[in-house]
Chain A
Amino acid sequence: MNFISNSIISRSLFFVLLIAISSGCKKSLVEKNKSNITQENYFTSASQAVAAINGIYPALQTFQTGNGLNYGEAPFVSIDLIAGHATTLGQSLFNNEMINHKSSPTDPVFKVFWVGFYNGIANANLAIAKIPGIEMDDSQKKSLLGEAYFLRAFYYYYLVRLYGNIPLITEPINFSSPDLYPKAATTDEVYDLIVSDLKEAETSGMPNVDLTGRASVGAAKSLLASVYLTMAGSPLNKGVEYYKLAAEKAKEVLDAGWYSLFNDYAYLHDRAHKNKGELIFQVQYKTGIATNNITPFVTPDKIGISKLPSEIGALMPRAEFVHSYESGDKRAQEKQFFFSEYPAASGSGIIKFGEYALYKFWLLEAAGPNGDRNSDENWTLLRLPQVMLVYAEASNEVSGPTQEAYDQVNLIRKRAELSPLSGLTKDEFREAIWRERYHELCYENKSYFDIQRTRKAFNTSTGHFENALSFKNESGVVFNEQYLLWPIPQSEIDVNANLKQNPGW
């Protein structure tokens, strides 16, 4: 025991030393995130400004985003199914609900679209708030901001048409922002922002035409023409003043000569002509970077004509629609916009589908017997015929059919190997343009918005337009007021007491 007393001092010293070391390591308990930059210390250079702008674009791919269900659900499918001229194969519960107008606000597609596009808006808001503070070349800065404004307007334009009265967020949000739980703005207020953003974009000094997939002045003007046309119709009903604006804006694009119609409809869906010719603005895809489901989704269900990983048949045109084209319309001929048979992928004979499929979106290089199985075609958002038809329709509302309007629509008809229109009354001309929109822009997510805007449904058996709220379309469905808007996703209503559900949902 005396041994202990002899060494207790040295042992205690050792012990005290250890305690001192262990408690002397008091740090501030902060760990740096090495994989991600924080928002506070970003936005200091031109390259960071470019990266921030690049970050706004991926939300465009929301059109092709499934929701983890793998049965062929995606917004680009849903928006066309709801309009009544398409059907779906396979077993998608949600797609069938969309066709039959039996959806519920909990259905995933409503949420996918809302979440995706508001995310795009948040990225645009961050760029618009932070880029002005960066020291960099002014013209580059302005042009970059133009892209942000264009994209924000684009996202809001879809959201306001699909969901009606929606929150209008224009500033970055943090945990204590009052706008974390926003009230809905009126549709008018949202359109005001869209118009002012597009005007900013128009004058931002972006290139007039862009062949790489970025926003351009041409895209901004084309979109603005479409916005004005929509504002003129339901639900804002701003009337002739806005038809005039739409016509003028469309004319600016047409007069500039930045775009030209393709000679071959195949160029609409091949790799070589991405972002070229008549294609004004597209969602970009590329094998190895971003692939999409467009091709498998338009290939008939397990038909055996492609070497794609899957054939789903999620978006299939109704035969009634294909048969509604004028006789001789090239677009309705086999392997133009549609196809109904194809050589078997196994190389043994021709497979007849027993139905029509959309050749318009079939990427031959990926899908065909010698294809590379990579579905990476672009999804077209704006192309020249749309602008031509906006011009024709809007100018007709202002001053009846003019020669200039006839010229535009007849260019489209000529390509379809149809005889030119002439000598129509204002009403006849209006219907003719609408029909042309249906036939030229079919399954490009236009018809649902046309029904909203015009309250008219296309009668495929007569070729005329009927009151959308009383006409039973070929899916056997009559639109009611409820289906003129999508529901605000239930999860959003659940979490934000300031939002009200759309009528009927």
Chain B
Amino acid sequence: MLLALFAGVLLTQIKASPLIKPVPLRNALKQVTKAYGTQFVYDPKFIDGKTTVYNIKANSKKPVEDVLKSILYPNQLLFLYISSNYYSIVPKDQLEVATPGRSNSLNQPMHNSITTAFISKQINVSGTVKDVTGTPLASVTVNEKGTNNTTITNQNGVFNITVTSNEAVLVFSSVGFINMEVTVGTQTNFEIELKRSNSTLGEVVVVGYGTQRKSDLTGSVASVNSKELMQRPVINAEEALAGKVAGVNVATNSGRPGGRTRVSIRGFSSINATNVPLYVVDGIESPNGIDNIDPNNIESISVLKDASSTAIYGTRGANGVIIVTTKRGKKNSSQISYDSYAGVNWLPKELNVLNSQGFLKIEEEQYKNAAKYDSVGFANGKYKDPLKKRMNYLIGNTLGNHELFKLDANGIPQPIYDIDWQKMATRTPISNSHNLSVTGGDKLTNYGLFLGYVKDNGIIKGSSAQRYNIRAVLDRQIKDWLKAGGTFAYSNMNQEGVNDNNGSYDVMRYMIEFVPFIPYKYNDGTYGNSGNYEGLERVDNPLAQINEIKRRYNTNTFTGNTYLNFKLTEGLEFTSTLGVNVYNENDPFFQSSKLVSNKSQASISSSESKFWEWSNRINYVKQLNEDNRIDVLAGAELQKDTYLGWTARTENLSDDYYQWYNLSAGATALAPSSGSTSYQMQSYFGRVNYSFKDKYLVTLTGRDDGSSRFGSNNKFAFFPSGAVAWKISQEDFLKQSKAISNFKLRASYGLTGNSAIGSYRSLATLSTSTYVFNDTRASGSQIGTLANPNLKWEKTAQLDIGLDLGLYNNRINLVADFYSKQTHDLLLDAPVPSSSGYTTVTRNIGSMENKGLEVSLNTVNIDHKNLTWTTNFNISTLKNRVTALGAKNEDIIYGFKDLLLLRVGQSVGSFYGYIRDGIWSTKEAQEAATYGQLPGDLRIRDLNKDGVINGNDRAIIGKGIPDFFGTFSNTVRYKNFDLTLELQYMSGNDVFDNSRNSGEARQGIANSYASVLNAWTPDNQDAVLEQVRPTGAGYAYYMDTRKLQDGSFIRGKNLLLGYTLPASLQHRWGLNNLRVYASFQNFFIITNYEGYDPEVSNYDNDVFSQGVNYASYPKPRSLMLGLNVSF
């Protein structure tokens, strides 16, 4: 808007009333301001010393211009109308010449120079800010250099600002872009094009209880913004984080809908307490993780890795901290966004299993070999000739058997069915997600409303996850010293699970092992089960399990979070945050009577968790002088968590119709159960950041934590840390360097803790027991836990040495960190002699070490207007070692079939088992006989050479955790197209695939992998599998190296092609942004592993079981099409 100048100057003399005492003109003008709301621009030298006797209060009904005339004219002053309620005051003698070309109402010509000077002070400048692609940029800060005069662009990139001179310089700045300066001059309308910055140094990063400029960080903190998170559309925020940060391993161990991720930051710091990082959402701990948060609603995720950044979280910091900041409304904007995708998932590959002919052929061979391995049993008729047996299952048999075979032309029974159960149990479902957000704000208030819906259908029939999200945020600057706001979020997640029992009896196992010659359903509608054919292990077919066993996992999460922020004086702020998290889970289960067990079962397990946190902190930031800057934080926090869980169960329902909806229909009521825990914490924390000459940075942090979980002798603990950083690039000798644009060295050391043991481990409790007297339940009490009054937290000491390097205007950015973590006083459920009646006591015993190197390299390879190419590469190494265990450093053997070993000097997650040296050959018959074995039997290495194969012949045969892992990703943008290729890699990890045990050594009783066709025969002496024979005839299973496979892999994590509508079109259509994309996830995997996917684990709750597979839910390949639109 151009300045419209009207000057009304009247030189009418007004006689002063003698009764009134003259007041200074300046005060009179203030009274006018107060009475009329008018404002004035003037040079004080023309006002000072002048007075008026005019009574403003008495004349307050008069128009303001009359009043001004009365008080100014007697002083030889004129007033100029600038805009509504805005006047300039000038001396009469300087305003003689009217400005040509402008309408004026001056009663006297104005002085040209004065007019010009005056006008130039009020130049209104406007324009549009875009990026190099022509996309308008919202929320770009426009500042008149050297002043507080600032505005921001609206969602169309448009700004308006009034500056005071032609020489004014406008500074345009926005996170992720290089600042741009423009001198106003005579131009009033600007088309500004901001270039993307290769550097993120100017970014503000969320840290514990505050924010910091990235360039001021002394610790190891990584931040991922929403754009990077949304690059791969996924349901789960952790999955979105996968691969984005060095040192953070997000393992997606299952293809189950809803995602099942396990996050570990810098290895492991605990054995029996948790290895899960601390989650903080908008400043409040989120005790149930971040599954309930829609990734669309996340503004950024910060990952705190080293002790300097995590020590502020004290006893909860040892596993690293993940801070989620959700989106909020932006000032002076209003925007509606809709994001959606739809995708299709499918099983990437089927495993090679026997078909009907293959199975029957093996069955016949087994029978032939039975005589060799069990001559007595064979002679006694223990084994049945399968050819004869099949005659009992012919079409039209009168034995009452199911019809499974028909005679061919030669009179030989041939199978009627040949079913591919993997195909039967899986599907190619469509998933979709919709997200609508309305955000905005004015000068004082921001608001945001976010609605989300996502439905993820699993590739196994009957499995799905569905989530509804509502989130509302509001912030308001109530006074200029008080800001308040809050977030209220509700999330409802419903998962439909298939029968999944880690391989004992479940869909994933039996889609491999269910025999192909028994059908899904017979003509009479009954399910085929493997009890329909003699000699098979009796289970339900996988589709019957899918139909008749229902598991649901329903969670409702409510989070409420409010804050008050007081500005006490400049630089001194006080913030009080109160947050509540209510988490309800309700998991019904039903198994109908139509299955083999012929027994219906129903149960509901529910729980309610309540967590609240009240945190108060005071923050003081002060530039003491040119060289010294401090940033001090002090705070106190209270937390309390309560949990109550209960289960009701019943069996033998009068009708399957009721499922879990009417448990009283069960004829056999099983005992209900319930349990509760609670804990509280009380903490004090503080942090000092000190910066000298913006080159030398020091951070000191401390937290004093008290926890109800600990022994009476050790309620409180203090966790200090310190860090230093040196911005070498700020030194004079590097300041002018063209090559080195940023160079910083960082070092930190500190202590963090882990307190996540059960709530009452320091108390000697009694537990309840159940026994039977007189056919009725008799409950009793028993010894519970062995109390340890000295129980305290684990301590992790961590050293971090880091380097940040930016070259060639930060086109090459390198962040490298070396860390060494030593955990002491491990909270270990340490074995005690069980002669005490107890088996373990929770003790602070044992130590562990994690060392690693993390490197992230980001480069901008091409940076042209129409073509950019960026590369991100990160690698993390991990070396874990147990350094002490228990009182005698005794081995701890645990986990699935005693596969896992904790041993001093070895990595956690070591696999402990036997070594298979192939199969005894005919030539080795004599040696085999000393072990009671025959040629064709399994040859297990006799490690201790005692002539006996038993538990003493086990060794460490592999490990589930990798040596190194990372991501390599490239993004190319050409005009409005962008293409991203993201590769994930991992090396040095093994998979112990127990599916090979059940899939290779149980022939004849269940279906097998096709590999059994290459089992040992006298003509195939070099086989890896023992000669086939009935399971009762000397088959042995060992947790041996046959099940061990190299799990290293390279995965095509994402291939994304996006197209953004050109800015000109967007404008024409009234849009702010429109983008469509296609994302192809998990699109290839290169690995030697022969199962579905080497990134696998059946055991969610045990991080050391990484790589232990037994019929896990396979991971899908997926193709998605997405749309982002905002206006």
Q: For A90, what are the chain B residues with a Cβ–Cβ distance below 8 Å?
A: 1031-1032
Is A138 an interface position by the 8 A CB rule?
no
CB distance from A185 to the nearest CB of B (A): 10
Query: In the bound complex, do residue A212 and residue B616 qualify as a contact, i.e. CB atoms below 8 Å apart?
Result: no
One digit per residue, 1 when the CB lies within 8 angstroms of any chain B CB and 0 when it does not, for chain A 55-97 equals 1111000000000111100000000000000000111010011
A212-B773, A290-B770 given; A57·B780 CB < 8 A = yes
Query: In the bound complex, do residue B766 and residue A107 qualify as a contact, i.e. CB atoms below 8 Å apart?
Result: no
Across the interface, name the chain A residue whose C-beta is closest to B569.
A4
Stretch of A218-226, A304-312, A426-434, A454-462 on the interface side? A304-312
Query: In the bound complex, do residue A173 and residue B760 qualify as a contact, i.e. CB atoms below 8 Å apart?
Result: no
Known A48-B781, A55-B781, A344-B534; 19 more pairs at CB < 8 Å: A31-B677, A33-B765, A37-B766, A38-B766, A54-B773, A56-B782, A91-B1001, A102-B949, A119-B838, A122-B837, A125-B837, A174-B786, A182-B835, A285-B772, A304-B538, A310-B537, A346-B532, A355-B377, A491-B893
Is B97 an interface position by the 8 A CB rule?
no
Is A500 an interface position by the 8 A CB rule?
no
Is B148 an interface position by the 8 A CB rule?
no
Query: In the bound complex, do residue B771 and residue A106 qualify as a contact, i.e. CB atoms below 8 Å apart?
Result: no
In the complex, A48 Cα to B782 Cα: how many Å? Answer: 11
Is B1036 an interface position by the 8 A CB rule?
yes
Q: For B41, what are the chain A residues with a Cβ–Cβ distance below 8 Å?
A: none
The winner among B651, B838, B887 for most chain A CB atoms within 10 A is B838
Query: In the bound complex, do residue A33 and residue B759 qualify as a contact, i.e. CB atoms below 8 Å apart?
Result: yes
Query: In the bound complex, do residue A213 and residue B760 qualify as a contact, i.e. CB atoms below 8 Å apart?
Result: no
3 closest A-B pairs (Cβ-Cβ)? A122-B837, A54-B780, A354-B382
Q: For A301, what are the chain B residues with a Cβ–Cβ distance below 8 Å?
A: 1031-1032
Q: For B618, what are the chain A residues with a Cβ–Cβ distance below 8 Å?
A: 15
Query: In the bound complex, do residue B566 and residue A52 qualify as a contact, i.e. CB atoms below 8 Å apart?
Result: no
Other-chain residue from A36, A114, A115, A166 in contact with B784 (beta carbon distance below 8 A): A36
Chain A residues numbered 177-195 whose CB sits less than 8 Å from any CB in chain B: 177, 179-182
Is B977 an interface position by the 8 A CB rule?
no
CB distance from B757 to the nearest CB of A (A): 13
Is B789 an interface position by the 8 A CB rule?
yes
Across the interface, name the chain B residue whose C-beta is closest to A311.
B538
Query: In the bound complex, do residue B676 and residue A34 qualify as a contact, i.e. CB atoms below 8 Å apart?
Result: yes
Query: In the bound complex, do residue A102 and residue B676 qualify as a contact, i.e. CB atoms below 8 Å apart?
Result: no
A214-B773, A313-B1032, A495-B886 given; A346·B400 CB < 8 A = yes
Q: For B760, what are the chain A residues with a Cβ–Cβ distance below 8 Å?
A: 31, 33, 36
Is A203 an interface position by the 8 A CB rule?
no
In the complex, A68 Cα to B896 Cα: how many Å? Answer: 9
Query: In the bound complex, do residue B377 and residue A354 qualify as a contact, i.e. CB atoms below 8 Å apart?
Result: yes
Other-chain residue from B569, B671, B780 in contact with A51 (beta carbon distance below 8 A): B780
CB distance from A251 to the nearest CB of B (A): 29
Is B165 an interface position by the 8 A CB rule?
no
In the complex, A354 Cα to B891 Cα: how many Å? Answer: 44
Query: In the bound complex, do residue B764 and residue A494 qualify as a contact, i.e. CB atoms below 8 Å apart?
Result: no
Other-chain residue from A29, A122, A123, A173 in contact with B682 (beta carbon distance below 8 A): A29
Query: In the bound complex, do residue B535 and residue A39 qualify as a contact, i.e. CB atoms below 8 Å apart?
Result: no
Query: In the bound complex, do residue B834 and residue A114 qualify as a contact, i.e. CB atoms below 8 Å apart?
Result: yes
CB distance from A221 to the nearest CB of B (A): 21
Across the interface, name the chain A residue whose C-beta is closest to B715.
A29
Chain A residues numbered 336-367 whose CB sits less than 8 Å from any CB in chain B: 344-349, 351-355
Is B738 an interface position by the 8 A CB rule?
no
Is A7 an interface position by the 8 A CB rule?
yes
Is B188 an interface position by the 8 A CB rule?
no
Is B669 an interface position by the 8 A CB rule?
yes
Other-chain residue from B376, B481, B763, B887 in contact with A38 (beta carbon distance below 8 A): B763
**21 cross-chain CB contacts under 8 A:** A8-B569, A25-B682, A38-B763, A39-B765, A39-B783, A39-B784, A68-B897, A70-B504, A114-B835, A122-B837, A169-B835, A169-B837, A211-B774, A274-B775, A285-B772, A288-B651, A288-B668, A289-B777, A346-B531, A349-B399, A497-B888
In the complex, A70 Cα to B998 Cα: how many Å? Answer: 13
Chain A residues numbered 252-299 whose CB sits less than 8 Å from any CB in chain B: 274, 284-290
In the complex, A214 Cα to B482 Cα: how many Å? Answer: 72
Across the interface, name the chain B residue whose C-beta is closest to A290.
B772
CB distance from B681 to the nearest CB of A (A): 8
CB distance from A477 to the nearest CB of B (A): 10
Is B568 an interface position by the 8 A CB rule?
yes
Across the interface, name the chain B residue whose C-beta is closest to A1.
B570
Stretch of B268-276, B549-557, B591-599, B817-825 on the interface side? B591-599
Q: For A26, what are the chain B residues with a Cβ–Cβ distance below 8 Å?
A: 682
CB distance from B414 to the nearest CB of A (A): 21
In the complex, A449 Cα to B536 Cα: how many Å? Answer: 37
Is A126 an interface position by the 8 A CB rule?
yes
Is B767 an interface position by the 8 A CB rule?
yes
In the complex, A19 Cα to B708 Cα: how many Å? Answer: 22
Across the interface, name the chain B residue whose C-beta is closest to A176.
B789
CB distance from A2 to the nearest CB of B (A): 12
CB distance from B641 to the nearest CB of A (A): 9
Is A121 an interface position by the 8 A CB rule?
yes
Query: In the bound complex, do residue A27 and residue B669 qualify as a contact, i.e. CB atoms below 8 Å apart?
Result: no
In the complex, A23 Cα to B708 Cα: how many Å? Answer: 17
CB distance from A120 to the nearest CB of B (A): 8
Chain B residues numbered 724-773 whose CB sits less than 8 Å from any CB in chain A: 759-760, 763-773
Query: In the bound complex, do residue B890 and residue A494 qualify as a contact, i.e. CB atoms below 8 Å apart?
Result: yes
Chain B residues numbered 555-595 whose CB sits less than 8 Å from any CB in chain A: 566, 568-569, 574, 576
In the complex, A442 Cα to B383 Cα: how many Å? Answer: 26
Is B951 an interface position by the 8 A CB rule?
yes
A11-B481, A175-B786 given; A58·B766 CB < 8 A = no
Is B680 an interface position by the 8 A CB rule?
yes
A33-B759, A287-B668, A301-B1032 given; A123·B837 CB < 8 A = yes
CB distance from A479 to the nearest CB of B (A): 16
In the complex, A94 Cα to B769 Cα: how many Å? Answer: 29
Q: For A181, what are the chain B residues with a Cβ–Cβ distance below 8 Å?
A: 833
CB distance from A498 to the nearest CB of B (A): 8
Across the interface, name the chain A residue whose C-beta is closest to B711.
A175
A37-B781, A348-B401 given; A97·B950 CB < 8 A = yes
Q: For B769, what are the chain A residues with a Cβ–Cβ distance below 8 Å?
A: 54-55, 58
Query: In the bound complex, do residue B951 and residue A495 qualify as a contact, i.e. CB atoms below 8 Å apart?
Result: no
In the complex, A212 Cα to B787 Cα: how many Å? Answer: 35
One digit per residue, 1 when the CB lies within 8 angstroms of any chain A CB and 0 when it does not, for chain B 862-893 equals 00000000000000000000000011101101
Is A105 an interface position by the 8 A CB rule?
yes
Across the interface, name the chain A residue whose C-beta is closest to B843.
A175
A31-B760, A114-B834, A214-B773 given; A319·B380 CB < 8 A = yes
Q: For A346, what are the chain B residues with a Cβ–Cβ distance below 8 Å?
A: 400-401, 531-532
Other-chain residue from A107, A175, A211, A492 in contact with B951 (beta carbon distance below 8 A): A107
Across the interface, name the chain B residue whose C-beta is closest to A60.
B771
Query: In the bound complex, do residue A288 and residue B670 qualify as a contact, i.e. CB atoms below 8 Å apart?
Result: yes
Query: In the bound complex, do residue A354 and residue B951 qualify as a contact, i.e. CB atoms below 8 Å apart?
Result: no
Is B706 an interface position by the 8 A CB rule?
yes
Query: In the bound complex, do residue A354 and residue B836 qualify as a contact, i.e. CB atoms below 8 Å apart?
Result: no
CB distance from B710 to the nearest CB of A (A): 8
Is A35 an interface position by the 8 A CB rule?
yes
CB distance from B302 to the nearest CB of A (A): 25
Is A501 an interface position by the 8 A CB rule?
no
Across the interface, name the chain A residue whose C-beta is closest to B614.
A22
Q: For B401, what are the chain A residues with a Cβ–Cβ distance below 8 Å?
A: 346, 348
Across the interface, name the chain A residue whose C-beta is closest to B531.
A304
Is A403 an interface position by the 8 A CB rule?
no
Q: For A58, what are the chain B residues with a Cβ–Cβ distance below 8 Å?
A: 769-771, 780, 782
CB distance from A78 to the nearest CB of B (A): 14
In the complex, A487 Cα to B399 Cα: how many Å? Answer: 51
The winner among A33, A53, A491 for most chain B CB atoms within 10 A is A33
Q: For B948, what are the chain A residues with a Cβ–Cβ distance below 8 Å?
A: 102, 104
Q: For B118, what are the chain A residues with a Cβ–Cβ distance below 8 Å?
A: none
Is B58 an interface position by the 8 A CB rule?
no
Other-chain residue from A4, A114, A126, A491 in contact with B783 (beta carbon distance below 8 A): A126
Is A42 an interface position by the 8 A CB rule?
yes
Across the interface, name the chain B residue whose C-beta is closest to A12.
B568
CB distance from A473 to the nearest CB of B (A): 15
